[in-house]
Structure 1
Amino acid sequence: MSGLRLIRRHAAAFGRFAGLGSGVTLAASAAQVLLSQWIPWMAANALTTVASTVVATELHARVSFGHGRPGLAGHLKSAATMALGWLVTSAAVGSLTVLRPGAGLVLQQAVYLSATALVGIGRFLVLRLAVFAERAPRPRTGGGVRLRTAYDAAA
C-alpha cells in the first residue's frame, strides 16, 4: 500500500474516531445531567462513564477501525485506555491547581481540554495500533494439509 493511501486511511479513521468520540461524550454529558436529577452526581457520573465507554468501544471497533465486534478483551483494553486518560487529565488539572492556585475557569478549561486532546490522540494510537489493529490476511491452510497428507502417504 502506498504511503499516501496509508496516511489517508489513518486520517479517515482518526476523523471517524474523533467524531464518534465527541458524539458519545456529548450524549453521556446530557445523560449525566438528567440522571443526576434522580441519583447522586457521583453515581450518575460512574454510570454514564461505564455506559459511554462500552458504546464508544463498540462504535470505534466497528466504525472507526472496521474491526467488527470488539469482544470482552477489546472492551477491557479500551476501558484501560479510558482509565489511563482519566488519570492523565486529572493529573494535569491537579498540577495546575498546585502550580497556580488561583487559576481561573478559562485556564482550567484550557489545561483540561489540552490534556484531553493529547489523551485522545494517544488513545487513538493505542486502539488503532494495538487493540483494534488491522489483521494481516491469513494464509490458506488447505494446501498445506494436502501437502502434508501427500508427504505422509509417500513415506
Structure 2
Amino acid sequence: METAQSGRQAAPGARTAFARFVLCGGGVGLASSFAVAALAAWISWGLANALITALSTLLATELHARFTFGAGRHATWRQHVQSAGSAAASYAVTCAAMLVLHQLNPAPGAMIEQGVYLSASALAGVARFAALRLVVFARTTRPVRATATATPTPTVPAARATAPAVPAELCRAA
C-alpha cells in the first residue's frame, strides 16, 4: 500500500522483511556458494569469492530495495555503497572461516568447504540483515518545513469542518 505523501510502499514488519531477506539473500547466497566453488577451479578461491561477492551484492541489493524492505524501486547509489560495506564485512567473515578451515584441514572435501562457507555466510547474513534494515533501507520521516512565504491556512470553525483536512503542501501546488 502506498502513502499519498511519500509515494512509497509501507515498510513490512521485521518478520516479513526477515523472511523476504532469507528468500532473496539466501537464494542469491546459495547460488553464489556454488558459483564460488566452480570459479575457484580456475582462479584462486579468494579472488573467486571477491568477484562473486561483488556481483551477488549488486543483485541482492536490488532485490532488497524492491522486495525485502518494501521500497518498490531501484536501490540508490548510497544504498549500494552502504550495502557494499556490509558485504565487505561478510566477505571478511567467509574468508576468515575458510582460512581457519584450511589451517585445520589442508585438504577438506567439497561438502565440508560448502558447510563451513554456508555457515559463515548465514552468520554474516543475520548481521547484514540488521545493518540493511536499520541503516541502509531505514525509513525516516522528515518534518515538513514551513516557508516564510507560505500563506497561513484560514481556520474553519469546528461546526463547519466536514471534510478531512488537506495537507498544506498539497494546497501550494497551484
What TM-score comes out, normalization by structure 2 length? Answer: 0.61
1:75 Cα deviation from its structure 2 partner:
0.6
* Higher share in helix: 1
Q: Which runs of 5+ in 2 are unaligned?
A: 1-11, 153-174
CA spacing shift, 1:95–1:82, aligned 2, 3 Å:
same
1:128 Cα deviation from its structure 2 partner:
0.6
1:29 Cα deviation from its structure 2 partner:
6.2
Task: Tell me if structure 2 keeps the 8 A contact 1:28–1:49.
Answer: yes
| Higher CA-based Rg | 2
CA spacing shift, 1:92–1:41, aligned 2, 3 Å:
closer
* Aligned residue among 68, 86, 109 for 1:81: 86
Structure 2 residue aligned with 1:97: 102
Task: Tell me if structure 1 keeps the 8 A contact 2:79–2:137.
Answer: yes
Task: Work out the percentage of aligned pairs sharing the same amino acid.
Answer: 42
Q: For residues 118-147 of structure 1, what are the alpha-carbon distances to aligned partners after superposition, in whole Å with 9 as ceiling and x for unaligned?
A: 1000011111111111223x3333xx3369
1:95 Cα deviation from its structure 2 partner:
1.6
In 2, the alpha carbon distance for the partners of 1:63 and 1:110 equals 28
1:115 Cα deviation from its structure 2 partner:
1.2
1:21 Cα deviation from its structure 2 partner:
1.4
SS at match of 1:133: coil
Task: Tell me if structure 1 keeps the 8 A contact 2:33–2:114.
Answer: no
Structure 2 residue aligned with 1:24: 28
Task: Tell me if structure 1 keeps the 8 A contact 2:20–2:67.
Answer: yes
Q: Which runs of 5+ in 1 are unaligned?
A: 1-7, 151-155
In 1, the alpha carbon distance for the partners of 2:36 and 2:91 equals 17
Structure 2 residue aligned with 1:145: 147
1:33 Cα deviation from its structure 2 partner:
8.6
* Aligned residue among 62, 66, 71 for 2:76: 71
Task: Tell me if structure 2 keeps the 8 A contact 1:96–1:103.
Answer: no
1:15 Cα deviation from its structure 2 partner:
0.8
CA spacing shift, 1:48–1:101, aligned 2, 3 Å:
closer
Count of residues in Structure 1 that have an aligned counterpart in Structure 2: 135
* Aligned residue among 12, 15, 18 for 1:14: 18
1:90 Cα deviation from its structure 2 partner:
1.0
* Aligned residue among 113, 117, 125 for 1:112: 117
SS at match of 2:140: coil
1:116 Cα deviation from its structure 2 partner:
1.1
CA spacing shift, 1:130–1:92, aligned 2, 3 Å:
same
Q: For residues 82-139 of structure 1, what are the alpha-carbon distances to aligned partners after superposition, in whole Å with 9 as ceiling and x for unaligned?
A: 12111111111212332x2357434443332221111000011111111111223x33
What TM-score comes out, normalization by structure 1 length? Answer: 0.67
